[in-house]
Amino acid sequence: MPRAYTIATAALALGTSVKWLDNVLSHNRVPGVAQERQGISRRLTVEALLILALAVLLIQELGLPTSKAITLAEGLTRNDGRYSAHQGLNLNLDLASFRLQLLERLENAVEIAPIPKRGRPPLDKTGRLN
């Protein structure tokens, strides 16, 4: 099974907020995102992060709506960084370099991302949850 990353780590690597990323994943299907039942945190593979990083780039540089940016990003990853529209628009991206840059950002994000706490919070001296 490929390595999977938390939302917090992914948001750091993508340069977005956790809330934005969580909202995007709540409203869009992205291959490589493990979504289970409520209460189980999402896990993202490197492939999902690549699609999301491309989508962020397309949103910021071209002003595309999020759902269209994700669809276009999926096409770019499937076609080695190339996309051709029927009307003659051609996009080319050095996908290998883009992926390497993402992996470097991801490596840094893993070091500083908060580790999600599991279980119940500890009780304080009064018997109440913190």
SS3 27: helix
Distance CA 86, CA 88 (A): 6
Considering just the CA atoms, what is the radius of gyration of the chain in Å? 17
97, 55 Cβ separation under 8 angstroms: no
Cα 47 to chain centroid, rounded: 9
Q: CA separation (Å) from 30 to 27, 69, 87, 113? A: 10, 11, 26, 22
Distance CA 91, CA 71 (A): 14
Quote the pLDDT of residue 1: 46
The stretches in the chain having pLDDT less than 50 are: 1
Beta-ladder partners of 92: 82
Distance CA 89, CA 97 (A): 22
- What's the whole-model pTM score? 0.82
